[in-house]
Structure 1
């Protein structure tokens, strides 16, 4: 019996020890401490001008702290003895200048810099303080916003290569006859209700003061009246005019002075016309021969030309204080307009009276290039090798959608001041030309743009002319019908 008691006790003792060992191995095991590698993320961050919060992660198993000299930044905690997250808060930046700061995270043996940037605030709009030459007068001027007003111009036509012709012979210098009322009557009868009149104004009675000759001012007014008397809309501009409008810092002051002087004279002369007359400041402004993406210098100076134009016209007062004005994107290129155009400031009483002008001749090899190696266009082209390989229907829609999104949908009217495709003496080409004109015209109207077909009066091969400038006869009735129907079908 004694031996049995001993055996039972021994077994119990052994089981107890075994359970203790099991418990210790599963629950009370001590894991040796391991070093945490020092690290900070992110090492750079940026904030909008309005400020905000951002998280910083600090990995460290010892003491660390964070600091900065920037009084516009605050931390949720500036030190700890272990890995932590910090909330960094940036105050709003009321200055228009962007600012930067450096944060320093210091561990026992390591440190890390964090670079912080914040955008500057948008500058406050500068109210145009203009002294009107005579009191403003809105009689005969619509109170519609520019996009709604533009809708009234259904389809337009360019009186190209006539009043903008430079040379001793004046408007006939570029092989077109003198413009007549009969021609404009024919344009109206064909279905167009707006005419863009490109003009070269540098016919000076005093070249030093840029004083425009009375005879030339009167002749331009005569042609404008041909249009207005037909209850059509007229747009007059300063066109190429010899290329004096170079958008460079070197020429900036000179060009702005000349623009101001010339537009003050033009606007004063036409001040009593109602809203059937629109002014367009310039044309395809670029540094002569440079068709690439503009530098900051180029587009900044050109945007300034638009502002000078608006200020000059408004300052003449009367109906010009309210008149609808057309300003241009750089080189009237859609990409450059979307990327670099800045809307001029306007006087308060002329709210939303500005329109934006672009041109469209894509693809160049089909629309303008006189080399007949490219004469087919569109998704239905029979031979891809005879196309430009780009700028088909999708490209038209995408480009015009960008103008709609950035301007029309914001209430700003858009003028497609020039577009078209040259005639070619190539069998089968006319079908593709008609397809092109139909699609571009219709898409422009669908996207809220008013298009003006470019007509240079040249009715031969490689020309754009669709009317006989001497008789007014329609020489390309299919082209005219295609354009008119395409515009009207989108209403």
Structure 2
């Protein structure tokens, strides 16, 4: 049926279809006939429910049908013009809902869209907030709904997490021009890895004001472009070792750091997400984690969530990203525990994808082809082809997204083999397929870019100029979601 928006309808005898435009401040008036009209054509209820009036103007009998269990009306049928009271019960879900009611008179009918905002869950009383929780302008969406707004993101790698300073790993200072270029290319989010151990008081882990301000400056480059930010604590020298011997000290440090970060960014809106850690593992141990390792790593996730929430303000409702062990999909599914949280459906799980290692990361490997277009069986590893990608991402969907926990594919990509003829075509296939598979399964793909424009690098932009380095590769990433 045709959806009609209505404002003022003047009753008359003439019964012909018409459409009248009002001033810019008024809605459109629409009617099939001048002796039957309904106003308004759309009603939006607050999450706590309430009442709204539906004006039905008719010279004949009419009926109301449709809606849902959460909607009711004062009378479902009558004759002539009436003001019908529509009532909505409280929405106790963190997902908005909608329905449609149809008003019929004779052979004519109108559809009225009815929507209701999601509930903003109140934080639990189990935590003491430093500042009263403030949901103003924070999203009411569940984490899964919120994440679905992001088609693809980009990593500002090897810059703010560089040990020794922002330019120590070969990249220039991050500029607004660079972030503008990232936006123009079609990316919708920027993951910002950060090393926070620039201390004015090292013994007490007090972050330098100048460093906090610099990180905020870069965050604002992104937010000013109406993009999303995922800001983490990255490797930072490797102090986050998941062992019983280090557990108490690491958790204390995490708590102190995230309390400071949370306080500084407390007033930022929902497009700023915090991610607690990055690829937590025992240094150089790539085996499956022992019970000790994954138990301690899970405790880091809990400490991060508790620290951010306890600051209060908008942080009581902020979307937070936790990680599986070493961001490995298998280890995440097997060992990750979702932290307890004082607010519902605000958590996301992060994993990374660099399979097969010999194609994606190993510069010394002769594995230089990937996927169904590979021509030389000696240059491809068949175990990590398209079907493996599908299987892994489907497992993340089943185990997390379908359970209400959004999934961030925080890093993926493959190094540039600029000296190997034909390699770029397989790199394009890899980028396109992983991006598409992630989006199909509801994961948010965020490409890893370390700024290295040479052999074995990941750069997609010249960070000095903002220029796109590989237009075809860029299309393989961002064109996927067009």
TM over 0.5, shorter chain = yes
From 149, 153, 177, give the equivalent of 1:152.
Answer: 149
Partner of 1:109: none
Matched, 1:331 2:331: no
Partner of 1:413: 406
From 256, 259, 262, give the equivalent of 1:264.
Answer: 259
Partner of 2:454: 460
CA contact (8 A) 1:281 1:309 kept: yes
From 235, 238, 243, give the equivalent of 1:243.
Answer: 238
From 386, 389, 392, give the equivalent of 1:396.
Answer: 389
Query: C-alpha displacement at 1:130, in angstroms?
Result: 1.1
Partner of 2:135: 138
- Structure with the higher fraction of residues in helix conformation: 1
Partner of 2:470: 476
Partner of 2:247: 252
Query: C-alpha displacement at 1:372, in angstroms?
Result: 4.5
CA contact (8 A) 1:396 1:443 kept: yes
TM-score relative to the length of structure 1: 0.72
> What does residue range 183-202 of structure 1 map to in structure 2 within 5 Å?
183-202=178-197
Give 3-state SS (helix, strand or coil) of 2:230's partner. Answer: strand
Give 3-state SS (helix, strand or coil) of 1:239's partner. Answer: coil
Q: Deviations over 1:58-100 (max 9, x none)?
A: xxxxxxxxxxxxxxxxxxxxxxxxxxxxxxxxxxxxxxxxxxx
Q: Deviations over 1:339-360 (max 9, x none)?
A: 000000000xx21000000000
Partner of 2:339: 344
Q: Which moved more, 1:378-387 or 1:295-304?
A: 378-387
Distance in 1 between residues matched to 2:136 and 2:359, nearest whole Å: 45
Matched, 1:353 2:346: yes
Query: C-alpha displacement at 1:141, in angstroms?
Result: 1.0
Distance in 1 between residues matched to 2:479 and 2:132, nearest whole Å: 43
Distance in 2 between residues matched to 1:433 and 1:128, nearest whole Å: 50
Distance in 2 between residues matched to 1:449 and 1:251, nearest whole Å: 32
Distance in 1 between residues matched to 2:207 and 2:381, nearest whole Å: 44
Distance in 2 between residues matched to 1:329 and 1:323, nearest whole Å: 20
Partner of 2:220: 225
Which runs of at least 4 in structure 1 moved beyond 4 Å after TM superposition?
Answer: none
Matched, 1:301 2:272: no
Query: C-alpha displacement at 1:190, in angstroms?
Result: 0.3
Task: Flag the structure with larger Rg.
Answer: 1
Distance in 1 between residues matched to 2:150 and 2:207, nearest whole Å: 30
Q: Deviations over 1:402-441 (max 9, x none)?
A: 0000011122110000000111020010110000000000
> What does residue range 29-44 of structure 1 map to in structure 2 within 5 Å?
none
Partner of 2:367: 374
Give 3-state SS (helix, strand or coil) of 2:166's partner. Answer: helix
Distance in 2 between residues matched to 1:284 and 1:346, nearest whole Å: 22
Query: C-alpha displacement at 1:128, in angstroms?
Result: 7.5
Unaligned runs of 5+ in 1: 1-126
Partner of 2:377: 384
Give 3-state SS (helix, strand or coil) of 2:444's partner. Answer: strand
Unaligned runs of 5+ in 2: 1-123
Query: C-alpha displacement at 1:389, in angstroms?
Result: 3.4
Query: C-alpha displacement at 1:261, in angstroms?
Result: 0.3
Distance in 2 between residues matched to 1:380 and 1:389, nearest whole Å: 12
CA contact (8 A) 1:166 1:173 kept: yes
CA contact (8 A) 1:441 1:451 kept: yes
Query: C-alpha displacement at 1:320, in angstroms?
Result: 0.1
Partner of 2:269: 274
Tell me how many residue pairs correspond in the alignment: 358
From 429, 440, 449, give the equivalent of 2:434.
Answer: 440
CA contact (8 A) 1:423 1:462 kept: yes
CA contact (8 A) 1:148 1:411 kept: no
Partner of 2:314: 319
Query: C-alpha displacement at 1:132, in angstroms?
Result: 0.5
